[in-house]
């Protein structure tokens, strides 16, 4: 059946209603493209928060868009996730809109990266679209108001499962990096459903060096201890987020370390500093400059890293897979390769507000089909 005669169409992104497809792709996205990428982000995020704050609208959106059924739910990290599709860190850096984002149907939202001290990040422009690759390049540099500010919102009761991603303040010398993570962990720990130590952003000089085991070891030990101290009655799940650019042996080493420290899991992966295999022309890519590349170009490596982690740790670690996921088939492939949960960021920017529901519905269908076959 043709698109025009059908109320819904089946695309590589899964099934979507004609209204969703037409309104977002033909109307809203082209208008947003008139704005610089970061301004478009602020505009859409502000609109969403405003819209969801209208009395009755947030719960209505949640009823319409959140897939939360027996077959969609996932038990992990001592929590029950309504579905396995999460929003990756970096979209809601300051924990200002996680309830509104949850009402769009995300099974969980990871806020941050939050740093020990507030910082403005890198000079603008620092976020770029590569539409031909459906990719983004960013060098935001952890712009955020700091973990102390975010806690004022995180301490409120919330319906959405919220992970809190913490990183290092740029101005802090390397010798105080651990203390900086610990200060954030102590603040956010009591209110986070899980905490992520981010050592994988390419935009804070020296940050990714913390992935080397000799540096990661004392960092993880200190954050682990800090969380036990501030939350003696509830164990706060602790995960580490890694880069796709790690060598295979280093991926293994992180898995070993995570097991050694009794960490709950690993999030793989962050953005890549590589630029190979892009469809966009070289000058367009060069104009963006330095930064982390996300979206489909990182898909292959994100899956490889996931498989490597799963081979090494089996089911002893909760693996959250992120990087280039756009379709329910891809999300399901990650789950089959060992992920318990998945996250998206770039596809949400390109595909719009109905993506979480589409992915969660598709994955639940694929899971039940696999169950019937098995």
Ligand X SMILES: Cc1cc2nc3c(=O)[nH]c(=O)nc-3n(C[C@H](O)[C@H](O)[C@H](O)COP(=O)(O)O)c2cc1C
* Shortest Å, Cβ 92 to ligand X: 10
* Shortest Å, Cβ 331 to ligand X: 11
Choosing from 147, 184, 200, 201, which is the catalytic residue? 201
How far apart, in whole angstroms, are the C-alpha atoms of residue 237 and residue 201?
21
Cis peptide before 183 (omega within 30 of 0): no
* Shortest Å, Cβ 211 to ligand X: 13
Q: Contact 58/100 with Cβ under 8 angstroms?
A: yes
**What share of residues in the chain are helix, strand, coil (percent, to 5)?**
45, 20, 35
* Shortest Å, Cβ 272 to ligand X: 9
N- to C-terminal Cα distance for the chain? Answer: 32
Give the residue with the Cβ less far from ligand X, 72 or 201.
201
Give the residue with the Cβ less far from ligand X, 58 or 143.
143
Whole-Å CA distances, 173 to 117, 199, 214, 240, 247? 13, 15, 18, 21, 26
Among 184, 54, 203, 63, residue whose Cα is nearest residue 142? 203
Whole-Å CA distances, 4 to 7, 10, 22, 309, 351? 8, 12, 11, 45, 20
Q: Contact 340/318 with Cβ under 8 angstroms?
A: yes
* Shortest Å, Cβ 70 to ligand X: 27
Give the residue with the Cβ less far from ligand X, 76 or 114.
114
Among 296, 371, 301, residue whose Cα is nearest residue 336? 371
- Paired with 223 in beta bridges are none
Q: Which residues bind ligand X (CB under 6 A)?
A: 88-90, 93, 112-113, 127, 136, 138, 140, 142, 165, 198, 201, 241, 270-271, 294-295, 298, 322-325, 344-347
| DSSP-derived secondary structure letter, 204 | S
Say how many residues make up the chain: 374
Give the residue with the Cβ less far from ligand X, 140 or 257.
140
* Shortest Å, Cβ 300 to ligand X: 12
The per-residue b/e assignment along 310-348, b for 16 or more CB within 10 angstroms, e otherwise, is: bebbeeebbbbbbbbbbbbebbbbbbebbbbbbbbbbbb
Phi, psi angle pair for 255, to nearest 5°: -60, -45
* Shortest Å, Cβ 54 to ligand X: 27
> Is there a catalytic annotation at residue 201?
yes
Residue closest to ligand X, measured at CB: 90
How far apart, in whole angstroms, are the C-alpha atoms of residue 290 and residue 272?
11
Token pair recorded at residue 255? 């898995």
Give the residue with the Cβ less far from ligand X, 58 or 100.
100
Contact residues for 157 (Cβ-Cβ < 8 A; gap 6+) = none
Residues with a catalytic annotation lie at 201
């Amino acid at each position: 059946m043709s698109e025009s005669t059908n109320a819904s169409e089946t695309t590589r992104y899964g099934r979507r209603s004609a209204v969703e497809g037409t309104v977002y792709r033909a109307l809203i996205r082209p208008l947003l493209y008139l704005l610089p990428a970061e301004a478009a982000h602020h505009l859409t995020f502000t609109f969403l928060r405003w819209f969801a704050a209208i009395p009755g609208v947030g719960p209505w959106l949640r009823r319409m868009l959140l897939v939360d059924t027996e077959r969609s739910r996932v038990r992990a990290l001592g929590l029950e996730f309504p579905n396995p599709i999460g929003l990756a860190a970096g979209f809601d850096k300051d924990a200002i809109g996680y309830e509104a984002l949850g009402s769009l149907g995300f099974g969980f939202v990871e806020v941050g990266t939050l740093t020990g001290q507030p910082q403005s990040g890198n000079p603008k422009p620092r976020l770029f679209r590569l539409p031909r690759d459906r990719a983004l390049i960013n060098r935001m540099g952890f712009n955020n108001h700091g973990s102390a500010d975010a806690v004022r919102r995180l301490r409120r009761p919330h319906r959405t499962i919220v992970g809190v991603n913490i990183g290092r303040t740029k101005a802090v010398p390397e010798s105080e990096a651990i203390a900086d993570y610990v200060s954030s962990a102590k603040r956010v720990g009591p209110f986070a459903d899980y905490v992520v130590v981010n050592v994988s952003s390419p935009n804070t000089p020296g940050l990714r060096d913390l992935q080397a085991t000799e540096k990661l070891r004392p960092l993880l030990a200190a954050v682990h201890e800090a969380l036990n101290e501030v939350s003696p009655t509830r164990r706060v799940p602790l995960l580490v987020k890694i880069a796709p650019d790690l060598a295979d042996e280093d991926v293994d080493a992180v898995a070993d370390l995570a097991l050694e420290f009794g960490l709950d899991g690993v999030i793989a992966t962050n953005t890549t500093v590589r630029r190979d295999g892009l469809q966009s022309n070289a000058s367009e890519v060069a104009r963006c400059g330095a930064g982390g590349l996300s979206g489909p170009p990182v898909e292959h490596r994100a899956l490889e890293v996931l498989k490597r982690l799963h081979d090494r740790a089996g089911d002893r670690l909760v693996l959250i897979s992120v990087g280039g996921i756009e379709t329910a088939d891809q999300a399901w492939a990650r789950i089959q390769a060992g992920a318990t949960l998945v996250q998206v960021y770039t596809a949400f920017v390109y595909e719009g507000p109905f993506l979480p529901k589409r992915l969660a519905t598709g994955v639940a269908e694929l899971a039940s089909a696999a169950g019937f076959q098995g």
